[in-house]
Amino acid sequence: MASYHGPKAKVQRRFGEVLIPRAKYQKILEKRPYPPGDHGKEKQYRSGRRSDFGLQLFEKQKLSFIFNIRETQMRRYFKRALQMTGNTGSNLLMLLERRLDNMVYRAGFAATIFAARQIVKHGHVLVNGQRVDLPSFQVNPGMVLSLTDAMRKNVHVIDALESTAHNLEYVTVNRDAVTATLTRLPERNELPLVIDEQLVVEYYNRLG
C-alpha cells in the first residue's frame, strides 16, 4: 500500500478495525461494521478464510497504513531490521516508531500521523533546536522535539494537544512549552500497536 491520501474511514472499514484512534472513525465503524463497496454488507471480516499469504499481506498493509509509508520504504525498513541484532519484527516496529513524523504524532502535536507528516514536511518541527523536514528522520533517546513559534499557536496543534492523552512511558511531553522528548527506547509491549509483526516478517521472507 502506498502512502495514503484518500478517505481514512474507508480503509479502516476494509481492515475491520479502528487504526486511527479518533471518535469519528469509531462511530463510522460502529454504524457500518462491514467493508466498503456495493457488496460490503455481504462480506465478513473472516480472517480464518484467508490463506497464510493473505494473512501476511493483510497485516503488512495494516502496518503500512498505520505509519503512512510506501511499500518501497517498508522494504528498506525490513532490510535494516534484518541487519540489527535481536528480533526482526520488534526491530522493524522500533524503526517505524522512531520516525520523526510518528514521534510528532505520539507527542500529540498532531491529531493523526497524516497531519504530523505535513507538519514535518512543511518545516515546522525542530529537533534539538534545529529544523528537520524529513519525516523518516530517526529520533534517538534524549532528542527534544519542538515546533516553530508560529506552529505552536496553530489552532489544530492546540486542539490536538488538548484532546490527546499522553500516556506513553517513553515520551515526555511538556504541553506548555510544546516540547517532547524520547526518554528511552520503548519495550514492545509499550507500543500502542495492535499488529502481529511476525506475519509481516513472514511476508517479506516469503518474497525473498
Nearest to 100 by CA among 74, 83, 119: 119
Residue 156 buriedness (CB in 10 A; 0-12 / 13-18 / 19+):
middle
| 197-207 vs 52-67: helix crossing angle, rounded to 10 | 110
Residues forming beta bridges with residue 181, ordered by sequence position = 144, 172
**Contacts for 99 with CB less than 8 Å, ≥ 6 apart:** 67, 69, 135, 136, 137, 138, 139
DSSP codes of every residue in 6-38:
S-HHHHHHHHTS-SS--HHHHHHHHH--S-SST
Taking alpha carbons only, the member of 198, 208, 155, 162 closest to residue 52 is: 198
Domains in the chain with CATH codes:
8-95+192-207 (1.10.1050.10), 100-184 (3.10.290.10)
At residue 32, the pLDDT reads 54
In the prediction, which pLDDT does 2 show? 43
- Residue 92: per-residue pLDDT: 98
Please report the pLDDT score of residue 42 as a whole number.
47
In this prediction, residue 20 carries a pLDDT of: 61
| pLDDT at site 133 | 98
User: Whole-prediction pTM value?
Assistant: 0.81
**C-alpha cell of residue 135:** 519525516
Distance between CA atoms of 9 and 30, rounded to whole angstroms? 11
C-alpha cell belonging to residue 146: 519542538
User: Per-block average pLDDT, block size 10, for the chain (208 residues)?
Assistant: 52 56 50 50 54 92 92 96 96 98 96 94 98 98 97 94 84 94 95 94 92
Residue 194: predicted pLDDT: 87
DSSP calls for 130-162: EE---TTPBPPTT-EEEE-HHHHT-HHHHHHHH
Query: From the CB of residue 182, how many other CB atoms can be counted at a distance below 10 Å?
Result: 22
The rounded distance, in Å, linking the Cα atoms of 208 and 205 is 5
Residue 164: what pLDDT? Answer: 76
